[in-house]
Structure 1
Amino acid sequence: MLRIFLLCCLLLPGLLSANEVAWAAWREGKAVLIMRHALAPGTGDPAHFKLEDCSTQRNLNPQGQQQAKAWGALLLQHYAADITLYASQWCRCLDTASLMNIAEVQPLPALNSFFAGRGNGQLQTQALLQQFAAATVPMPTVLVSHQVNFTALTGYFPASAEAAILALPLTSPATVLARITP
């Protein structure tokens, strides 16, 4: 039904832009927003990486911190009530989510990076597909994760702090309603 509505909106000029339709679906709980964490220079994590020790991980730089805050402001422009906010357990994702200042951050292991064999991409992607298998969620939902997780769901490589609004139920590949940069 959502896909038919989206098609109608795209075919009827002057009604709503595709991004407006995507944001409406997100606000109504018919889509989720997935975001790659804000800028944390480098690739992967050091060999001495420990999940519980941020000093052993790549972390947000000042630009990344500003990106996260900008995302919070953008999200609040689109919806100023309760939002569900999930993040990978990596510090750069938790910090991105915290700095948005939109909701209490809930760590979600399925969003953890599986780059360089640190996790299991197939199992984690399946867990996300199962968690968001319903046609709706109770409130707008934001997922803060990593490039590999984002790419596994969408099929494209996002920039740092890039997001996409994905139609529910979540599928593989996901139906991308909009790509968004802050």
Structure 2
Amino acid sequence: MGITVTGAVDVFSLKPLTAEELTAGEKANADFRDTLNSKQLLTELQKGGYVIYFRHASTEKDYADQVSATMGNCSTQRTLSEKGWQEARMIGKAFNYYSIPVGEVISSQYCRAWQTADLAFGRYVKNSALNFPKAEDYTDEQLAMMKTQLMPMLTKLPPQGMNTVIVGHDDLFEATTGIYPDPQGMAYVVQPDGAGGFRLVANMLPSDWIDLNR
């Protein structure tokens, strides 16, 4: 469960990246260690009380489309690949198999996010607060805005006995936590503390969910 990174890959050169070449967010993702083992995490999730933040499942290509994308028009955006469709369905099957209770399912307005939510959970509510700013290089103000928009969702306690699912993007999560969630489909399990804060207890690849009880 989770990930162990010995060398990330530069998708343009296909050369392994050394630790020195990772960004701070990528390094934080690589260095993250779960605080619960698989069975403990399953038990906790079955009780409810967590927020699960998913980066959308895999897309056909990986490129920045936040400037050119038009909400409501999937042809202007990156869309899920066949692999992404399979990842999302696999996540949903695992949640059903293990009877992990899900309350709210919140998605950005990007097609790849709400499609991930729909394939995995069969329902979602779009929230523009999960969208990217229309820029490729963010200003300090835009980074602060992303954190301001996401923090209330990560710190809000779910209804008793339920978990909240958020399907969003990499940059908002990094702006809020300092962690760049990679690869696509990566999820972080968040435990709100009820006092405006939270802790991260685990990260999960799409293929990790079905193995929770092993």
TM-score (norm 2): 0.66
CA contact (8 A) 1:38 1:96 kept: yes
2:78 alignment partner, one of 38, 58, 82: 58
What secondary structure, in the 3-state scheme, does the structure 1 residue paired with 2:203 have?
Answer: strand
Stretch of structure 1 that moved more, 106-115 or 49-58: 106-115
Relative to 1, partners in 2 of residues 1:133 and 1:154: Cα closer, same or farther, differing over 3 Å? closer
- Identity among equivalent positions (%) equals 24
Structure 2 residues without counterparts, runs of 5 or longer: 1-34, 207-214
Deviations 1:121-162 (Å, cap 9, x if unpaired)? 32232232224434x311211110111122223322221011
1:16-70 per-position Cα deviation (integer Å, ceiling 9, x unaligned): x533333444443422100110111221117542112110101011111111111
- Structure 2 distance, partners of 1:143, 1:170, is 18
Q: Distance in 1 between matches of 2:42 and 2:125?
A: 22
Are 1:175 and 2:195 an aligned pair? no
1:73 and 2:93 correspond = yes
For the pair 1:18 / 2:32, whether they are aligned, the reply is: no
Counterpart CA distance in 2 for 1:147 and 1:153 is 10
Say if 2:128 is the partner of 1:128: no
Residues 125, 77 of structure 1: alpha-carbon distance in 2 compared, 3 angstrom cutoff: farther
Displacement of 1:108: 1.6
Mean CA deviation greater in 51-60 or 26-35: 26-35
Q: Which amino acid aligns with 2:130?
A: L
114-123 vs 27-36, which deviates more?
Answer: 114-123
Residue matched to 2:164: 141
Question: What is the CA–CA distance in structure 2 between the aligned matches of 1:173 and 1:132, rounded to whole Å?
Answer: 8
DSSP 3-state at the match of 1:43: coil
Contact 2:102 2:164 survives alignment (8 Å): no
Look up the match of 2:25. Answer: none
Preserved CA contact (<8 Å) 1:82 1:103: no
Q: Which residue is 1:43 aligned to?
A: 63
The correspondence of residues 91-130 of structure 1 with structure 2, limited to 5 A, is: 91-100=111-120, 102-114=121-133, 116=136, 120-130=142-152
Aligned mates of 1:126, 1:47 — CA distance in 2:
21
Match of 2:52 among 30, 33, 52: 33
Letter aligned with residue 51 of structure 1: M
- 8 A contact 1:87–1:106 mirrored in 2: yes
* 1:147 counterpart letter in structure 2: D
